Amino acid sequence: QVQLVESGGGLVQAGGSLRLSCAASGTIFSINTMGWYRQAPGKQRELVAGVTSGGRKNYADSVKGRFTISRDNAKNTVYLQMNSLKPEDTAVYYCNADGVAVGVRLLEVWGQGTLVTVSS
């Protein structure tokens, strides 16, 4: 069984910073893509940032220049450094791992979500 455990959410004032972490556990051979999604109240879940095992990164336009995604392949862990936070960044942030190789299977796994609240 593969699990993603997130940490680092919380309450911060506008302009502040937070760092999210997500660690995958289980008998994992490799993970193709790890990333972060978010869902604000009344809105659809959207991609925030993703990173492949080779280090290729992509970001939502709304976070470019403010958020940085990084990954430690040896630890199956992904991070999201969020700077210059805005109230509109308030959402539940979900970690995602796609192409998780477990034996002969490839899985997609979601974390339980961590709440980020940015006050104005």
Q: What is the per-residue pLDDT across 47-70, written as a single tens digit (0 to 9) for each?
A: 999 999 999 999 999 999 999 999
Question: What pLDDT is recorded for position 103?
Answer: 87
Instruction: Give the Cβ contact number of residue 27 at 10 Å.
Output: 9
CA distance linking residue 108 with residue 16, whole number of Å: 32
CA distance linking residue 91 with residue 6, whole number of Å: 14
* β-sheet bridge partners, residue 77: 23, 72
